[in-house]
Amino acid sequence: MQQENFGHYARKLSEEEMEKLSKDKVSLSEFKRNKLEAEAKKNWDLFYKRNKTNFFKDRHWTKREFEELANISSDGEERPVLLEVGCGVGNFIFPLISEGTPFFIHACDFSPRAVDLVKENSLYDPTTCNAFVCDVTQETISEKIAAESVDVATMIFVLSAIHPNKMPFVLKNIFEVLRPGGMLLIRDYGLYDQAMLRFGPGHKLDENFYVRQDGTRAFYFSEEYLEKLTTDAGFLVVLSKYVSRETVNHKENICVPRVYIQGKFCKPEVADLNSNTNQL
């Protein structure tokens, strides 16, 4: 992919912005960075303790962006199965449930408090949804749900919260529970998103990886980085693109450029897997 001199096709940077990024060095000690990793679950649990269900808006846009969530029907008695990884308090799953989704939904999060809030929602029905605690950076998902039983897996602003060193394990973890031909849908923060440029000194943990004031972390993905991560885990890239949005504050006359990354990644069919194996 051809890159612009400053930034990429979804966000061109000024010389001042490039200079700011070039001067932003990793200044946190290794001890502090390791402590943030060790306390990742605690920090997110505290986040949900403070904010409960009030922080994130319900994600009513997902079927518009991912037709795989809309153009699917139940075949006989067997319902299609969806796995939401990092479900939080259910801002992704409950809009689907309220619209009568045909999916049986598995929803997991490593925050026990978040999972409790999902189960307390009036739309939660254990006959159509299974919410459970799982740290996908350490635990094997197939010990919670059957291997190769999931038609569609989703990670909506979730992979970015995981340490880059643990992302390969997480993606292989999801790969194992997807059926051959199953899809992984990702929406997350893109490289040079305005939130990335706003971080002040002392927040950079690694290249494109930052810590917020509350101890939660965010990684900002390039297309190339996400494509390599997923293909290394065994997926085929169906779609990978930046999505540009503008957040406008009319009262203060401020326009904030946002950059997200969106991707669809397929687990190869059995025939494809055998073909790839024979070529090795």
Instruction: Convert the pLDDT of each residue in 125-161 to its tens digit.
Output: 999 999 999 999 999 999 999 999 999 999 999 999 9
| Beta-strand pair 217-219/236-249 | unpaired
Average pLDDT of the chain, as a whole number:
86
Dihedral sign of CA atoms 203, 6, 248, 193 in order: negative
Each residue's pLDDT tens digit, 72-112: 765 567 899 999 999 988 888 999 998 888 999 999 998 88
**How far is residue 160's CA from residue 11's CA, in Å, rounded to a whole number?**
19
Query: What six digits make up the tokens of 249?
Result: 């504050």
pTM for the model stands at 0.86
- What CATH architecture does domain 39-190+218-244+259-267 belong to? 3-Layer(aba) Sandwich (3.40)
Three-class secondary structure of residue 178 per DSSP: strand
The secondary structure element, H or E, covering residue 241 is strand 236-249
pLDDT at 147: 96
The predicted model gives 40-52 an average pLDDT of 72
Three-class secondary structure of residue 180 per DSSP: strand
pLDDT band at 53 (very low <50, low <70, confident <90, very high): low
Tell me which residue of 224, 219, 193 sits closest to 36, measured CA to CA.
219
Each residue's pLDDT tens digit, 20-45: 888 888 888 888 888 888 777 777 77
pLDDT at 72: 72
pLDDT above 80 (res 251): no
CA-only gyration radius of the chain, Å = 19
The DSSP secondary structure of 94-146, one letter per residue, reads HHHHHTT-S-EEEEEES-HHHHHHHHHSTT--TTTEEEEE--TTTS-GGGTS-
**How far is residue 145's CA from residue 280's CA, in Å, rounded to a whole number?**
31
**How far is residue 32's CA from residue 35's CA, in Å, rounded to a whole number?**
5
What single-letter DSSP state applies at residue 9? T
Domain ranges across the chain: 39-190+218-244+259-267
**How far is residue 149's CA from residue 239's CA, in Å, rounded to a whole number?**
23
